[in-house]
Amino acid sequence: MGQEISRSTFTRQDFRRFRARLRQETATLGEWFRTGRFAPTSGVAGFEIEAWLVDRQGQPAPLNRVFLERLADPLVVPELSVFNIELNTPPLPLREDVLRRMHANLEDLWRRCQRTAAELDAAVALVGILPTLRAQDLSPDHMSDQQRYRAINDQILSRRRGRPMELAIHGIETLCLTHPDVMLEAATTSFQTHLQVTAHDAAAFFNAALALSAPMVAVAANSPLLFGKTLWRETRIPLFEQGVALAGGTRADDPSHQRVTFGCGYVQDSLLELFAENQTHYPPLLPVDLSAEPDERLPHLRLHNGTIWRWNRPLLGFEADGTPHLRIEHRVMPAGPSIPDTIANAALYYGLIHQLARATTPIATTLEFGHCRANFYAAARDGLQAEVMWLNGQRLPLRRLLLEELLPLARRGLRALDIHAADVADYLDLIAARVESDRTGADWQRRFLARHGPDLNQLMLAYLEQQQGGTPVHEWAC
């Protein structure tokens, strides 16, 4: 959930000051867009992946403070709950052996995390929603000791006038419940890719990321269970949206109530539109005075942007010399099931987005935004079994779209980036095998329960054994 802050309680004056700073910094950002201030560098990619700490029975283990102290690696940081951590790897240019280097970096960090967890009689798990998680595990007692998390919880509950969060997810089964705080969000762990783009190309890349959200969430689905109920293939999507809503239910007509959102339309000209929308439509949650930081780093704008969790989010960063740059964060994929699957997912996304963003006909003219958004939720609900509306009004099964059109497109995109042909083949062949066999992480979990019965501990221990073996999910035995 981003950078730490110095305190968690605020006054009306704090909010007035913050809004004024936010207006000023948004105006400054607009001037940067008008004057071409941004770095010309593009094609630099990175990612972060959230993980669970679990005990020897596969139950959530509240150990992230002692784990992080013992690991002592700045690339691994806390998340909202004491069960969760976040792993980061260095950004790399998308060329040559980048996929293998990403794989090696993540594998090395993952192995070091596993060794540290083993010293605590625990393990690290990559899975979108932990099958053994219980609603009572998500209490304020299990919130990480960070001012930022307490403040977000307090602010969201204040805006809800103390009303509990309301969860209603209708899938294979139905789950309806209320929860007194934002800890429901801690049930969702994701794999988030970053891509640096030029200001000139950013709108096309952002719109391509929107269109790709449906196939990416389907092919990566790994969150079919919540509190013992079988729901969507990727239950993270409705859970996160409802778990931090500022009003009861979902209000698609009022962005201020949707801090987690797919958005209301394509970007027309530049990513400035999204930052302007942040300032106009989203009330601040963390009105911290950051005036001690350099004005040219736009600290209030960046902090505010970090409290709006679009499934595709614009990010503002800076080069070593202080030149600003733009990144697109793609947030739809869950963590897991394996390291090879994770890199394969990244390869598919990076290949596809480079081809779609550079298509002769802009995606916004060939796929209506309403269809783009509907595709996303259908794919999250039904996974590879979904039907979607694709370019020029073509409706077809998502599995067919991936096999016949998107996988070949991704291969062309990765080769155009001069990524090693053998690596392109290896990683995209994993995706093809997964799609052909209909064996995502979500489907493996569902098949395991169908075969062995509703023992979630048994499921989780089998999942951990397969994950630690390092084979891709389509090869996992049930």
What CA–CA distance (Å, rounded) separates 64 from 81? 8
Confidence of residue 146 (pLDDT cuts 50, 70, 90): confident
pLDDT at position 246? 79
Confidence of residue 251 (pLDDT cuts 50, 70, 90): very low
What CA–CA distance (Å, rounded) separates 266 from 428? 28
pLDDT at position 306? 95
Task: Using the Cα atoms of residue 286, residue 87, residue 112 and residue 476 in order, give the sign of their dihedral.
Answer: positive
Size (the chain), residues: 478
pLDDT at position 249? 46
Does residue 104 sit within a domain? yes
Does residue 462 sit within a domain? yes
pLDDT at position 3? 60
- Average pLDDT value for the chain: 95
Does residue 306 sit within a domain? yes
CATH code for the domain of 43:
3.30.590.20
Does residue 43 sit within a domain? yes
Instruction: Quickly list DSSP for 335-354.
Output: P-S-HHHHHHHHHHHHHHHH
Does residue 293 sit within a domain? yes
| 156 has pLDDT over 60 | yes
**Owning domain of residue 245:** 12-469
* Rounded percentage of the chain residues whose pLDDT exceeds 70: 96
| 379 has pLDDT over 60 | yes
- Which residues, 6 or more positions from 156, have their beta carbon under 8 angstroms from its beta carbon? 182, 244, 246, 259, 285
Q: Which helix (H) or strand (E) holds 88?
A: strand 84-88
What CA–CA distance (Å, rounded) separates 164 from 157? 8
Query: Which runs of consecutive H residues, i.e. helices, occur in 48-201?
Result: 64-71, 98-119, 147-159
Q: Which helix (H) or strand (E) holds 363?
A: helix 363-366
Q: pLDDT, tens digit, for every residue of 83-131?
A: 999 999 999 999 999 999 999 999 999 999 999 999 999 999 999 999 9
Q: Which tokens in the block code for residue 250?
A: 């979902």
pLDDT at position 147? 86
Q: pLDDT, tens digit, for every residue of 2-54?
A: 565 666 688 999 999 999 999 999 999 999 999 999 999 999 999 999 999 99
Structural contact between residues 66 and 111, judged by C-beta atoms closer than 8 angstroms: no
pLDDT at position 248? 54
Q: Which tokens in the block code for residue 9?
A: 């309680």
Does residue 106 sit within a domain? yes
Residue 312, SS3?
Answer: strand
Number of domains in the chain: 1
Q: How many CB atoms lie within 10 A of CB 150?
A: 17
What CA–CA distance (Å, rounded) separates 274 from 152? 21
| 302 has pLDDT over 60 | yes
Does residue 223 sit within a domain? yes
Does residue 390 sit within a domain? yes
